[in-house]
Amino acid sequence: MNSALMLRRFISVNASATLSSVTPSPKKKPLIFLGSPQVSVTVLEALFDASSAPNSSFEVAGIVTQPPARRDRGRKVLPSPVAQYALEKGLPSDLILYPEKAGDEAFLSTLRDLQPELCVTAAYGNILPTKFLNIPVHGTVNIHPSLLPLYRGAAPVQRALQDGVQETGVSLAFTVRKLDAGAVIASKRLQLDDQIKAPELLSLLFSEGSKLLIRELPSIFDGSAKSKAVPQDDSRATLAPKIAPDEAWLSFDEEAFVLHNKVRAFAGWPGTRAKVLVLDDKSGLQNELELKIITTRICQSTEVLNGEQHYVTFKKGSLVFPCGGGTALEVLEVQLPGKRAINAAAFWNGLRGQKLKKL
């Protein structure tokens, strides 16, 4: 056999062996993530991690988030935490979309070009119109930090804490046009203590929600999630409306447990505030102060001494505010405008013997 023929056979055999040993990898399903604040980053991180696994069937094909806004006390225009994280992970900038509204035609056209099989939302902050919801093959699912149908709306964690609930949770549900009313794919319950604040609880619920999402993704992609999802009972629905800045003020005519729950609920934003009067008996001068109330607890001793009903006292490291119904609120941390938060002892020492009257 001549050398040319042997060479042709060698090339043919090896090419066949190489081709037979290479199995074309199946195309991954495109997933689009919608989120904006820091808590959403937890979910996006879980999606990136899961998509990079050897047996993953999907990829994060794009990000939708709120447009850049002024942050750092308004000094800088910065992208959302989700956009910053996506860029750090190496997602091309042209795959990060910042529509003013999710119904903008130019945005919807770009979204269609990405051909998403699924969209996932987590604290995105924009209403999704029907034109959007019709695009992803397997629909849109949302991580909602409540046990739906309870606390539908913009502030489920804050309103739940304000109500003093001892149990809450997170739900993974399909998105429909009606607010937070889609069928629930899965949920996780959590027991609460009476000290947890909104930022901590919000972070915890989105962490648990991301685990639910990753667990349920296979059933969402194969379509079985739609058949097992449980429709919500609208008769049990409660609402969690957006918080208004003027809700931040505390009235000590209310009972202590109401105020304590409000402090926990509004921690972070908008915070809770109270006005007090500083009285100097020697000079007769009075000075009104605005205090941001950071941390509180309910006073276990409801005994208020005669003459103290209108005055704040200091006992065992706490500022004690008399409240409605013969109750009292212990304030452990406060913050003056433009200052850092300090403990009650440091604030009380700064009064140098002056009296403190609640307003």
* Domain contains 36: yes
Residues 187 and 261 in one domain: no
Distance CA 64, CA 118 (A): 13
Give the residue from 185, 207, 240 where a domain finishes.
Answer: 240
Phi-psi region of 251 (alpha: psi -120 to 50; beta: other; left: phi over 0): beta
Residues 266 and 136 in one domain: no
Residues 184, 292 within the same domain? no
CATH code for position 299: 3.10.25.10
Q: Are residues 304 and 274 in the same domain?
A: yes
Total number of domains in the chain: 2
In a shared domain, residues 224 and 122? yes
Last residue of a domain, one of 204, 221, 240: 240
Distance between CA atoms of residues 196 and 262, nearest Å? 12
Per-residue pLDDT tens over the stretch 216-249: 999 999 999 999 999 999 999 999 999 999 999 9
Structural domain contains residue 60: yes
Q: Are 159 and 240 in contact (CB under 8 A)?
A: yes
Looking at the structure, tell me whether residues 217 and 276 fall in a common domain. no
- Taking 3-state DSSP, the helix, strand and coil percentages for the chain, each rounded to the nearest 5, stand at 35, 25, 40
- Tell me the average pLDDT of the chain: 92
Please indicate, yes or no, if residue 2 is contained in any of the structural domains.
Answer: no
Which pLDDT score, from 0 to 100, does residue 4 have?
44
Residue 184 resides in a domain:
yes
> Is residue 17 situated within a structural domain?
no
Q: Do 316 and 271 sit in the same domain of this protein?
A: yes
- Whether 236 is covered by a domain: the verdict is yes
Same domain, 214 and 310: no
CATH number, position 232: 3.40.50.170
Higher-confidence residue of 50 and 15: namely 50
What is the reported pLDDT for 303?
Answer: 63
Q: What is residue 252's predicted lDDT score, i.e. its pLDDT?
A: 96
pTM for this predicted structure: 0.90
Question: 87 and 125: one domain?
Answer: yes
More confident residue, 71 or 130: 130
pLDDT exceeds 70 at position 22: no
Average pLDDT over residues 319-327: 94
Q: What residue numbers bound the domain in which 249 lies?
A: 245-358
Residues 73-131 have pLDDT tens digits of 667 899 999 999 999 999 999 999 999 999 999 999 999 999 999 999 999 999 999 99
Q: Residues 308, 182: one domain? A: no
Nearest Cα to Cα of residue 142 among 116, 121, 125, 156: 121
CB count in 10 Å sphere of residue 37: 17
Say if residue 225 is in the same domain as residue 127.
yes
Could you tell me if residue 22 is inside a domain?
A: no
